[in-house]
A and B are shown apart, each in its own frame.
Chain A
Amino acid sequence: MCGLCGDLSPQDHWSDRDPGAGTARHRHERLQAVRTLLEGTGLTVSEWRGRGYQLANGRGRTVLVRDLGTLWAEAERMRGRPVDPLEAGSTP
């Protein structure tokens, strides 16, 4: 795992070092944004105890991840290819 996944410092993805990242509102908005990117991928996400995310693939596999870095890495593992925001952006 490398810096793009935030795992140079395992407890601290760059997005979590934002001063406002801990608020419930920010977490909610972030979750909604992740859901937007996961549309059409077959994956779903929900918040896990305010400390991470629960990622599911609809076939009974569920994984807990702690931050956005590990979320995208795990999403890639679950579907066999990365969630590509450039593809999502071109979807009507």
Chain B
Amino acid sequence: MSVPGVRPLTIVSGALGSGKTTLLRDLLSRPDLRSTAVLVNELGEMGLDHHQLRQVDERTVVLPGGCVCCATRSDVESALHELLATEDADHVDPVRRVVLETTGLADPAPVVATLQASPTLRHHFAVDRVVVTVDAQAVARGADQGPEWLQQVVCADLLVLTKTDLVPSAAAEDVAAHLRRLNPAAPVVSPAEVDLATTPVASAAAAAAAVAPLPAERHLAGVASTSVTLDGPVDWAGFAVWVSALLHAHGDRILRMKALLDTGGDGPVVLDAVQHVVHPPRHLPRWDGPRTSSLVLITRDLPPAQVVAALRDFLARRRPAATPAGGVTPPPTPRG
């Protein structure tokens, strides 16, 4: 039996009682998610009848000398290795996707780090998006959601607003606007609008574009966000060098960075960093939207405008001087 290439791993997270299980049940009932393996914390509580259900217990391992956000999830690593071993033994059909349900207290970043740290797993699985359920009623009534909630919201690629029927529509809109300001990289959708078949990059770009006019705002616990466009094309080598230095010097204050860059090629380059953990850059074959470089930045105790200004200054210094008007244009290189 042939084993597919790199398969998407979707993380579904959210506070206790925010509707994760309901969302999962709905998603797994859809025909396009039939060949999906599901890793859950509590088998009994799920009430799911799914042939590829496995239990994980959220064992987080901090690597020697590593910081907490770069910890890895040994339980996820074991479960995915087991999945591969089962497929190799030809006992089951290969899965097309993995969905990992985490508790409301779990930080999604270590899962990303787990796949990157494993020479085997990163050739088989890649985190395609982090889906976070948010209880509109709890947020609207101002219930303390805790630091873990904030962490999950800034890590999200898709925010699913649940229980909107329990609050006035204006209150639900306010909650959605609050979430967009907290994390401009993540579209805010209803459970019915969740579609794992869409490309997360396109939806992230749409989300960023939708909130671009909003000024940077200071939020909970010193967290601030901004969404800006960059004059393109962007010097990709310079951008990567600058980001690597930024994360070294200020990684603990950069909660999230998501960039969709016009580097002069046919398609955009996508760079996504969740705290210190940076996804490998992706070169997409084409643009689905306007050819515009965009950057979403979520910081803690660091004004995002300062980061953006420094980046723009660096890129401007790296940019070759423009050819003066009337300057000599080099002759085209002869073909052949």
> Which A residues are closer than 8 A to B by beta carbons?
1-6, 8-9, 13-15, 17-20, 26, 29-30, 32-34, 36-37, 68-69, 72-73, 76, 82-86, 88-90
Contacts and interface: CB of A to CB of B under 8 A. Distances in A.
Contacts, number: 134
B138 to A, nearest CB: 32
Given A3-B276, A26-B237, A86 B66 contact: no
Contact of A33 (B67, B237, B269): B237
Contacts of A20: 236, 283
B60 to A, nearest CB: 14
A19 B310 CA distance: 27
Given A3-B70, A3-B277, A9 B116 contact: yes
Contacts of B242: 33, 37, 85
Interface in B239-278: 240-242, 244-251, 269, 276-278
B281 A15 contact: yes
Interface in B112-127: 113, 116-117, 119, 122
A17 B281 contact: yes
Contact of A2 (B63, B246, B309): B63
Contacts of B251: 4
In terms of DSSP, what is the predominant structure of the interface of chain A?
helix
Interface stretch (B8-16, B140-148, B193-201, B311-319): B311-319
Contacts of A30: 237-238, 240-241
A37 B283 contact: no
Q: Lowest 8 A-B CB distances belong to which pairs?
A: A89-B310, A4-B276, A29-B237, A3-B70, A17-B280, A72-B248, A33-B241, A4-B251
